[in-house]
Amino acid sequence: MGLAVYHHFYKNHSSYFGLPDAAGIDITGELTFGCWVYFSPGSSLVDMGIMSKWYTTGNQRAYVINKDTNNKFQLRICPDGSSIAQVNDAAENFAIETWFYVVGRFTPSTELALFVNGTWYLNTAAIPASIYNSSEPLEIGRYNRTNYLDGRACHAFICAYAVPDRFIEAMYAHTRGMFKPQTLGVFI
């Protein structure tokens, strides 16, 4: 399932996109999802959702990519509605007014992988065999029915497949010219 979205989200206006719970987003096996995301001033040290199907009340956690209060990008998945497996970038990447290509990938019983602007972060320890089938909607721009994004998102996608590294890297390479300033080399 692909989503071609561009939106400017305002945390103070509680803006986000949501897709009602449906079979196409009830992904319990392989999963890859992500988007380009940009954070407005005031986003530092604030927990903000990027993409999710996640609600702690009633143990309706499934999957989420967010930026936490320590400015770490993180991918979390939940096999049973309450326990969590995760991987993060140790806050190596965050900056305000900057575009990031953030993609999370779950390979059952094998790996959680987080891709941020060309760098991979991996967790291969105690990876669950499946993701919980939450009844929450898929949301872009918030998670846990709060934690609103203050910024922008574009080119959001989700698929029930563990997309190989080379394809995620190619998606980044082929779209970054729209989001990242390019420097011209000097040729002599």
The answer to the question of residue 151 being in a domain is yes
| Structural domain boundaries, residue 149 | 6-165
In this prediction, residues 114-133 reach a mean pLDDT of: 98
The answer to the question of residue 173 being in a domain is no
Task: Return the pLDDT at 29.
Answer: 97
Task: Return the pLDDT at 17.
Answer: 83
Task: Return the pLDDT at 182.
Answer: 60
CB contact at 8 A, 145 and 135: no
Pairs from 162-169 (Cβ < 8 Å, separation ≥ 24): 162/30, 162/31, 162/32, 162/105, 162/106, 162/107, 163/32, 163/103, 163/105, 165/113, 165/120, 168/32, 168/34, 168/103, 168/105, 168/115, 169/115, 169/118
Task: Return the pLDDT at 112.
Answer: 98
The answer to the question of residue 68 being in a domain is yes
Asked if the model's pLDDT at residue 16 lies above 90, the reply is no
Query: What's the pLDDT tens digit per position in 87-99?
Result: 999 999 999 999 9
Neighbours of 15 (CB within 10 A): 15
Domain count along the chain = 1
Task: Return the pLDDT at 5.
Answer: 58
The answer to the question of residue 188 being in a domain is no
The answer to the question of residue 17 being in a domain is yes
Query: What's the pLDDT tens digit per position in 150-163?
Result: 999 999 999 999 99
Asked if the model's pLDDT at residue 188 lies above 70, the reply is no
More confident residue, 59 or 5: 59
Asked if the model's pLDDT at residue 61 lies above 90, the reply is yes
Tokens of 72: 């770490």
Query: Look-up: residue for tokens 């991996």?
Result: 122
Radius of gyration of the chain (CA): 16
Task: Return the pLDDT at 167.
Answer: 98
CATH code where residue 104 lies? 2.60.120.200
Asked if the model's pLDDT at residue 74 lies above 60, the reply is yes
The answer to the question of residue 177 being in a domain is no
CB contact at 8 A, 21 and 28: no
